[in-house]
A and B are shown apart, each in its own frame.
Chain A
């Protein structure tokens, strides 16, 4: 029981971090960024290359991975999303294609075998018979800090309120003097950066592989659908539902089934509550 509680809490923090960058884009741009999982892959591989191949310090690897993620988000907005001018289906299809192209790129550069990303933090602690890796513990603490910082930014700064405003009423934001172009660029950059951080932690929790963008994308989509996007707070809650569900399933039923229940949950919510548990699309 303690095991489920502790592991569930830590995994949920990681899932919340994975989902929040995706939620941000859906709320502001009204589009599902299906290449979101590719940011995680990009961040993870950049970190792997810098730290495990070039032996750069971990912190430098992390900072550069984040910068690459932010740049990728910005480029995607500038080169693709903006040009497709709000056509959600076209954006979603092209983002999915982009993810597949990136996957091929990763295979080309790193080959298609999976790789172990060494723990960002070494060591384990035993607590009440439960093994806690310091790596996942750090990942979840970092998740909480980052999510807290993001919530503060969104709620209490001018730029953060502007992002909320665009997500709730674009015309209202424009006529209040919000530069919606600037908000869009910034949102895509933040989303890319969050994806890259989440990717490094996610890869150190699982492993590095060219198809590693799929699982986090499913988690993010699940959070979006089950939460009905909702607020950032809404996605935090849903990330916990999914995190605890997966840990319970793998503890009490079988590890192979953990992802299946997440997908069943997606379908169940789609059928029973199409608007999701929280039922709104704004931040």
Chain B
């Protein structure tokens, strides 16, 4: 059984439908990438998993149905989420932001805090800085860190590289790879930056206007002519 099984998922904002019949599986211990341009439905997929959008169809985490649950319960079941634009608490310190992430995993707080600071050492000196005054890269690290504080089995990361310098992108890629290799954490990542996604993920799903267009192992898709044409312009 895959860790996450999505079956025939549809998502709605009021009358507008943003996802059409999405089915995909995520195997435990893998890094899976979702690529697609603006408005393809990447964030909607992640918000659907978190119970933030009206959906039809099924989303199962190790066989347990997530649809219809509230976010706090999805978090408790083991899904951590670093959303687009981070959604941090701007007038709280880095430390307090991380502590809020620990609210459903209080017994793991010490362990998770040292894991996060180990993963992102530049946060150590900034523990008391309000996140509203931080750079985009630092905020992205706090966002991933806050998600890790929930002791997740599945980590969702939505477009972590938006607006970040190549150097910071590399730092984040390194951290995500390290997490996956050392702790076996399963990671679902969305990107418009195809190279970034392909450098991390073993499997790629391509979204277009709310539909799943293409899926496959990264190595196979890299040489897929349709994808090459759409994303690499040759």
**Interface residues of A, Cβ cutoff 8 Å to B:** 158, 161-162, 164-165, 168-169, 171-181, 231, 280, 282-283
Contact = CB atoms under 8 A, between A and B. Distances in A.
Contacts of A162: 100, 103
A169 B72 contact: no
Q: How large is the interface on B (under 10, 10 to 19, 20 to 34, 35 or more residues)?
A: 20 to 34
B91 A169 contact: no
A171 B100 contact: no
A168 B150 contact: no
The A contact surface, by secondary structure, is helix
A160 B146 CA distance: 17
Contacts of A165: 89, 92, 100
B87 interface: yes
B103 A177 contact: yes
B75 A177 contact: yes
6 contacts: A164-B92, A164-B96, A168-B89, A180-B72, A282-B89, A283-B91
A13 B104 CA distance: 36
A99 B46 CA distance: 43
Contacts, number: 78
A16 B10 CA distance: 50
Contacts of B91: 164, 168, 231, 280, 282-283
Contact of B81 (A161, A175, A180, A231): A175
A180 B52 CA distance: 13
Contact of B92 (A158, A168, A181): A168
A178 B72 contact: yes
A161 B71 contact: no
A180 B50 CA distance: 14
B83 A177 contact: no
A231 B92 CA distance: 11
B99 A158 contact: yes
B72 A177 contact: yes
B88 interface: yes
B76 interface: yes
Interface string B150-176: 100000000000000000000000000
B50 A177 contact: no
Interface string B31-60: 000000000000000000010100000000
